[in-house]
Every structure is written in structure tokens, then in C-alpha cells.
Amino acid sequence: MSVSDLISLNLGSPAVLAFALGLVATVLRSDLRFPEAVTSLLSTYLLFAIGLAVPFVAYRVARSFVGISVADAASLAAHYESVSAVTFSAAETFARAAGTLEEGYLPALVALLEIPGIVVAMVIGSRALGGGNLRSAVHEVITGKSIVLLVGGLLIGCFANQSGIEKVEPLFRDLFAGVLVLFLLDLGTLAAQRLRTMKEVGFRLIVFAIGMPLVFGTVGVFGGSLAGLSVGGAAVLGAMAASASYIAAPAAVRVGLPDADVGLSLGAALGMTFPFNLAVGIPLFHEIAHSNG
């Protein structure tokens, strides 16, 4: 399968098209927006269903290249050294559609990789600022609903008997793709709103939001290949490494780094990195994994 075929496959998926619709609708000033209760329900469903930390690099690049404050740099590091569950879901769906994914345990990595990067970034920010409520931030991350749902879903899936799993399988497997489409539609509207925040910082933040995923994603792909993962598995791992958190990280940053502009980090993570990974990153990492394999 050629690169153009992979990109076409990804861009033609209902989930990506729904995200694009949300972007366009918001740019056109449509009143399309899900109620908070619906958004929360969609997030809860996705996290429960799917139930690399190198923050020093991201922090240093944010400080020296982007030129933002210590708190904002630590906030960016926290967002970019965690992982996005939705990006993982899109990458896994893509790899399965391409017929290259063999591993069934990758959802477990989402829960394992989401926490460390945030915690380490909080440590960096706390030390650089000469204090900080680190204990509260760590507690916020570990007890946040995203981690609880991911870890809880994994534990339930591990200990539940087969007959019990079969009863709920239509809800948490068959409906997953449809719920993901709705969730991405809502994220499209939010991403368009966050793009305005990025204009205040300028071009360097855009370079950061695209450059970091390319570097981390490529490293993740090669790491997955060296670990013996399939082409699809290495591509999914690369997409996870390239992703940025916009659920657990913002909650932790608000507590641990009260001086940080969370909107700035969300603007980069959700307004640039997320759509880049959906449209370009996922098929690109798949092609790198295929060439490396």
C-alpha cells in the first residue's frame, strides 16, 4: 500500500471527516457544540472502552526555542509527554484497517504512558519555580477520571469472565467507532477555538506543535520495531509517542502549575498536534514502520 493510499484511507475515515466538520463549522461561526453533559459522556465512554516520557526535551525546547515562561514550558512538557487516548484509538483503527496490527495488548500502554510524563513535567516545573503543589498535582493525575477509567477498564477486562464480557461487548466494542466519530466532531469545534490562542504566541509554537510529534513519533516507531512489534503495532506506538494529552494533563497543570496558561498548551495540543496526527502523522508513522520492517 502506497503512502498516498494510506493517507487517503485515513482522511476518508468517518472519524477524521467528523473532526474536519467540527473545525469548519466553528470557523463558519456555527452554533454547533455538544452540551457539557454529552461531551463528558463521550469522553467517559472512550476512556472506559479502550481501558516514553522525555519531558526534559520538550521543556528545554519550549523554553529556548518557543521562548515562553517556565510555567508554560512545563505545562507544554506535561501535555506532550503524556498520551492521547483518542489519537491512540484513531491509530489502532487505521492499523487494523490496513491489516498490519497483530498485538491486542496495546490499550494497556495508554494507561501506563499517560501518567509518567505528566508527573515528571510537574517535578521540572516545581523545581524551576522553587516550589509548587507537587503532591496535589500527582494526586490529581492519579485520581483523575481519565486514569481511573483507563486502569479500571483494564482491570475489569482482565478479571471479568468471558460470559460477562460477551454481554457488554456490543456496547463497548460494536458502538466504539460511532462514538469516536461524535467525539471527534466535538473536538473539531474545540480545536478551532484554540487556534486563536496560538496566534498570540506565533510561528515558533506551531513549529513546536508539529516538530515534537515528528521527532517523538519517529523514535516511537523505531523503538517499537526494535522491540519486535508488528508494523501496525510500531505505527500505533509511534502515534502514541507523537500525541499530546488534553484530558489528564490540563487537570494536573491547573493544580500543579497555577501560573501556566493552560489555553496555550491546549491550543498547541488540540489545535495543531491532534489534527496533524490524524491527517498526516498516523499514515506517516505507518509508512516508516513498514519501511523499517
For residues 174-187, average pLDDT:
78
Average confidence score pLDDT of the chain: 79
CATH code where residue 61 lies: 1.20.1530.20
| pLDDT score of 169 | 80
Tens digits of residue pLDDT in 82-108: 888 889 988 998 998 888 998 887 877
Confidence check: pLDDT of 3 > 60: no
pLDDT range class, residue 217, cuts 50, 70, 90 = very high
Tell me what percent of the residues of the chain surpass a pLDDT of 90: 16
C-alpha distances (whole Å) from 233 to each of 38, 105, 139, 174, 212 are: 32, 10, 31, 22, 21
Cα separation of 43 and 84, whole Å? 12
Tell me what percent of the residues of the chain surpass a pLDDT of 70: 78
Q: Is 186 exposed, middle or buried (0-12, 13-18, 19+ CB in 10 A)?
A: buried
Total domains, the chain: 1
**φ and ψ at residue 120, rounded to 5 degrees:** -65, -40
Confidence check: pLDDT of 122 > 90: no
For residues 194-217, average pLDDT:
83
What contacts 84, CB < 8 A, 6 or more positions away?
240, 243, 244, 245, 246, 247, 269, 274, 277
Cα separation of 5 and 111, whole Å? 31
| pLDDT score of 201 | 72
pLDDT range class, residue 130, cuts 50, 70, 90 = low
What contacts 230, CB < 8 A, 6 or more positions away?
100, 101, 102, 103, 293
| pLDDT score of 117 | 73
pTM for the model: 0.72
Tens digits of residue pLDDT in 226-268: 888 899 999 999 999 999 987 777 767 776 777 887 778 878 8
Tens digits of residue pLDDT in 56-88: 788 889 999 888 888 889 889 888 888 888 899
Cβ atoms 74, 121 nearer than 8 A: yes
Confidence check: pLDDT of 284 > 90: yes
What contacts 222, CB < 8 A, 6 or more positions away?
234, 288, 292
Structural domain of 197: 3-27+35-292
